[in-house]
Chain A
């Protein structure tokens, strides 16, 4: 018969809750208790700094301006279909090398994955931001919204 030591378990949880919340108040790199969503881009021409979210219409205008699109999904999904001219994210170092050989780190890059319920585009955007890229757009509607709207795919 397995033991069910609920009181001991509760004690550990309460202590970690207390220590976690308390140290979070004290430390300089504290984070808010609840996470915020990505900021929505107001003017896509003036983006500089942390990654921002863009709508379908904004993504389309970036697409029309020839901004690089990077597909953050798995290879197999990419092979099944992707936004026209989008790159497969592949290995992170390789992606950075490709971007660097084409443009500066202050030029725009659009990241997308399947829909607004996948985290890989946001992860890729944050990783690129940590490497010094400053104009990162996360198209949260992703492949699903783009494909449904009938915009160019391949």
Chain B
């Protein structure tokens, strides 16, 4: 009956545990081998199919298609969109091969197009999906990507745009692409079963898309719209043969994590099975790529590294090729000799980075607030010393913003200059509006004795914003204004915006090449859920915005934007703070890094970066 646990038993248990571990490990090993085998099998079937194609092509005589591919390598026949990439191949030391490894600061939800909404997945998709047009990063002109060079025509007062597509386009599994795929993509987006409400909202202005021939497609618009060419030209084209099956089972598409296939130079190894838990995204070269210039890197890799110090360490170790720094960090890293030997650094003003601002809510709970008065808003702008914020907090790696339009964009009227810090003017304006220190306590009051006091809501996790807000609190206090900083969580912030339940808020908007200010400043957008959450209503500005949006002629439109900018400058619905520079370190191994009008020449097609043969790290 007496059973004691003895040392002998212990060894027995230990042995059994070891045995179990061995069995588990070997099971896992076999499983891995199995996966490799299926992978190889897939590659082999793919190769067999392309071999069959080749045999067929040869037996039917050499097609025109093959001919163009052969001839394409001389400079004259290269399509406009590929000219820059072609020039990169002519640089001394150009070589094919190596990997490009970039970091992601947060995990991805999904890679599937349309349902993904973050910038990171868009970055991956940029290499896999192609659109009809692409912008030249140097001239900002549109060039044909899937469409032929100059193969598009805007007619019917901007209501119809026709695109002539290239011949011989192929998706990354070798299937050909034609106008039907373009029509399919549009109809797929507009299908209410597909969880793509954001894209549907964008394409609201498109009435229909119609295939005129096998390689010709027309976009019909409901009304003239200034961004219609961009809208139609940048729609990423999805393969019908791959996505059509999800029309029957939209749930599978809406909940998918990695359904990504396109005609771009890179592809997912398996277009269906990526999941976020592996922590990396890997793209391989598309063997069926139709373009005349094949992409240089063999693989593109993204590693998810959420912890900031771990990300910096990985970059120092050379395990990632790219690191984006904050101003203070950037200055300390510049002094680092070891880093300077291995990396190049760039500071540039990205047009897509946008601007930050303080939004003054003009109506809260149905009543006008302090900031409903234009003079008060103007006074606040005079009191906000943006110059010092730029110099001291951003260490001059930023510029003062004057309006939603970038000072380098033709939308901006060059005669409008940012207002200088001027407490005297501010005091006078506040006195005009009826705010004076009436009881000598250093705080200004309104006529009925209420002190000038408001809350400033800001996002709690951004260090730089926090510094700016605390700096402004002191500045405002000197003018007798009580500002109470309110650090806020993102989900709470959304709720406050939704109910317009705040006095003032500091946020940022990203922007593009040409900014549409309809969403933020048109009075129709003050409805619940609209982006005009400051209740700003100005019929004069509304009219200008509407006119500009329906003006297709660029010159005339720019004059209208100037007019809108002038109104906003006088009205100050926001106090515009600053535009921050991007501060980037890149491994020296990566060549042909340029700052273009679109920002860094990364994430654009065709790929322009490369690693010279002697410096390659991952391939030998």
Are A and B interaction partners? no
A binding-site residues for B, Cβ under 8 Å: none
B binding-site residues for A, Cβ under 8 Å: none
